[in-house]
Amino acid sequence: MDVHQNYIGGRWVAPSATLPVINPSDGSKVAEIARGGAKEIDAAVAAGHAAVKGAWGKTDAVSRGRLLFKMAELIRRDAENLAKMESEDVGKPITQARGDVAACARSFEYYGAAADKVHGETIPFQNGFTVMTFYEPHGVTAHIVPWNYPLQMLGRSVAPSLAMGNAVVLKPAEDASLTALGLARLAEEAGFPAGVFNVVTGLGEEAGAALSAHPGIGHISFTGSREVGILVQAAAARNTIPVTLELGGKSPQVVFSDADFNEAGTIIVKAIVQNAGQTCSAGSRVLIEDSVYERFTGQLAERFKATRVGSASQDLDLGPVVNATQKARVERYLDIARRDGLKVLAEGSFGTNLPEGGYYVKPTLIGDVPPDHVLAQEEIFGPVLVAVRFRDEEDAVRISNCTPYGLVAGVWTADLGRSMRLSRKIQVGQVFVNNYGAGGGIELPFGGMKGSGHGREKGFEALYGFGALKTVTIRHGV
Ligand code: NAP
Ligand code: MG
């Protein structure tokens, strides 16, 4: 059985303690990873600084871009291998894992192409002065990512930081560290100088907490739960450094009577079933105009009944959830629904030959959920869609905005004016009109409002976030 090592300062470091790697499809142990802590984090941050002071700090933007392109090329070369690794580690159906690999490669490609396009400005000022601005890297950046889309999160967080010229220390989730280590091997092969790309695996409370509190870090990019996000922001505050928080959501899909039901139904069910509902931007509330509520929930129910759950390699509509805790969490919400007499409109089914010991839950559609009910307020992070009625446009906006979150919204209507009004009034970081792409492409700035966090990933926004703007004012006389 493989015992994986940490990658620190361009060297593979044997662990002093390990953690098991569990396959969620059957609960079996498939490998071990290092249980890194403060000591390994210290070494990784020091290695990052050495790289920035040394070879990496002297690497120009064009060359950084080429290294990122090389990463994209190697990720694509090893795509099938990485997809298998990911699907075994987190239980994703293999087709969905292949999509994650492609998205990760695309992040490196996008930011590789952007590395030499970070322009400063000249600013009109008093006579006899010239003022210009530069983006400078923060130094060593920390990246703490969750287990739901490990490769995608890693790519969109690490690639812009490297493009800007930072060195990175990555702490993957305990339940999803294998592909992060796979990418470290590719970074080595691509030719990044030692210490630019460091990976320390371990527990959140140990390696994660040590990294977020480290005084040598210049920026933290965190994706995960609100609870941990608050701890990470508090740690960043003590070092007065910037932090990007990508937290959860309770994203509404708002369906008006004039929507294309067929199109909307297909995409809405896919967006909640994808990755077994473990998607921060899953459209987990469907808000339906009263006059068409029965008709549209009827169509959704048919689609839910057709969904099938299987192991990662069976590659059905959804795989298991990531671990026993996550399964218990989803079941607890379903128990609350039963206790409160909510109506289950439809369930998906388990496929044949489901392996014993896996963490499987059925996709579930629940009807007539009051907007303030806990199932319509809290993030379940499983394949559970709650249907909520609304009266009119104003009511749709009010209900959309009535949770602590504000990540993404879908608006389904043929009325252009209405789609614009809702796009402006719903408090979220991304709105999709007559389509829904969980998180969208790497080109589209993404992030939350309210309890969903702050700062933006993806697009040029993310790239600028990984730099500090410096203003230089020169007095030369007239
Ligand atoms: P989590 O428990 O917050 O974990 C996220 C990351 O933080 C993991 O790497 C975790 O390590 C680490 N961590 C845990 N405790 C820590 C601590 N005290 N200090 C520093 N780091 C710590 O979240 P999760 O259960 O993995 O993911 C589910 C949540 O993430 C959901 O709420 C979801 O909505 C959110 N999410 C948001 C986005 C987004 O882009 N907005 C994307 C994906 C997920 P360990 O796993 O090793 O403990
Ligand atoms: Mg695992």
Beta strand 28-34 pairing with 285-289: unpaired
Residues contacting residue 324 through CB under 8 Å, at least 6 positions apart: 27, 359
Q: How far apart are CA 113 and CA 91, in angstroms?
A: 32
Q: Which two tokens stand for residue 346?
A: 């439809």
What's the pLDDT score for residue 165? 98
Rg of the chain over all Cα atoms, to the nearest angstrom = 23
Ligand of minimum distance to the alpha carbon of 280:
1
Strand, coil or helix: 471: strand
Token pair 């459209």 is found at 283
**What are the Cα distances from residue 302, in Å, to 120, 268, 296, 299, 341?**
54, 13, 10, 5, 22
Choose among 101, 72, 70: nearest CA to 84.
101
Task: Describe the strand order of the beta sheet including 467-475 as a list of residue ranges.
Answer: 122-123, 129-137, 467-475
Q: What confidence tier does 437 reach under pLDDT thresholds 50, 70, 90?
A: confident
Q: How far apart are CA 320 and CA 362, in angstroms?
A: 9
Output the residue whose Cα is nearest ligand 1's atom 38: 280
Q: What confidence tier does 1 reach under pLDDT thresholds 50, 70, 90?
A: confident
Query: Is the CB of 23 inside a 6 Å radius of any atom of ligand 1?
Result: no
Q: How crowded is residue 76: how many other Cβ atoms within 10 Å of its Cβ?
A: 16
Query: Is the CB of 144 inside a 6 Å radius of any atom of ligand 1?
Result: yes
What are the extents of the domains in the chain?
2-247+454-472, 252-441
* Residue % of the chain over a pLDDT of 70: 100
Query: Is the CB of 212 inside a 6 Å radius of any atom of ligand 1?
Result: yes
Residue 438: pLDDT over 70: no
Report the separation in Å between the CA atom of 27 and the middle of ligand 2, taken as the mean of its atom positions: 9
| 440 vs 302: which has the higher pLDDT | 302
**CATH architecture of the domain formed by 252-441:** 3-Layer(aba) Sandwich (3.40)
Q: Say yes or no: do domains 2-247+454-472 and 252-441 share a fold.
A: no
Q: What confidence tier does 439 reach under pLDDT thresholds 50, 70, 90?
A: low
> Which stretch of DSSP H or E encloses residue 253?
strand 252-255
Query: Is the CB of 228 inside a 6 Å radius of any atom of ligand 1?
Result: yes
Is 279 in contact with 148 (CB distance < 8 Å)?
Answer: yes
Ligand of minimum distance to the alpha carbon of 454:
1
What are the tens digits of pLDDT across the range 175-215?
999 999 999 999 999 999 999 999 999 999 999 999 999 99
Q: Which two tokens stand for residue 315?
A: 């590659």
What are the tens digits of pLDDT across the range 23-76?
999 999 999 999 999 999 999 999 999 999 999 999 999 999 999 999 999 999
Output the residue whose Cα is nearest ligand 1's atom 8: 173
Is 409 in contact with 420 (CB distance < 8 Å)?
Answer: no
What are the tens digits of pLDDT across the range 402-432?
999 999 999 999 999 999 999 999 999 999 9
Query: Is the CB of 206 inside a 6 Å radius of any atom of ligand 1?
Result: no
Q: How crowded is residue 61: how many other Cβ atoms within 10 Å of its Cβ?
A: 15
Residues contacting residue 312 through CB under 8 Å, at least 6 positions apart: 23, 24, 25, 87, 88, 91, 92, 93, 94, 97, 319, 320
Report the separation in Å between the CA atom of 326 and the middle of ligand 2, taken as the mean of its atom positions: 12
- Nearest atom in ligand 1 to 175's CA: 46
Q: How far apart are CA 250 and CA 205, in angstroms?
A: 26
Beta strand 18-23 pairing with 28-34: antiparallel
CATH number of 2-247+454-472: 3.40.605.10
Token pair 């998607």 is found at 279
At 390, give phi and psi (nearest 5°). Answer: -135, 155
Q: How far apart are CA 24 and CA 275, in angstroms?
A: 13
Strand, coil or helix: 284: coil
Query: Is the CB of 428 inside a 6 Å radius of any atom of ligand 1?
Result: no
At 211, give phi and psi (nearest 5°). Answer: -70, -45
Q: How far apart are CA 317 and CA 384, in angstroms?
A: 14
Output the residue whose Cα is nearest ligand 1's atom 15: 204
Choose among 424, 377, 427: nearest CA to 406.
427
Q: How crowded is residue 240: how many other Cβ atoms within 10 Å of its Cβ?
A: 6
DSSP structural state of residue 410: E
Q: How far apart are CA 227 and CA 404, in angstroms?
A: 13
Residue positions annotated with a catalytic role = 246, 280
Residues contacting residue 392 through CB under 8 Å, at least 6 positions apart: 289
- Nearest atom in ligand 1 to 246's CA: 41
What's the pLDDT score for residue 465? 97
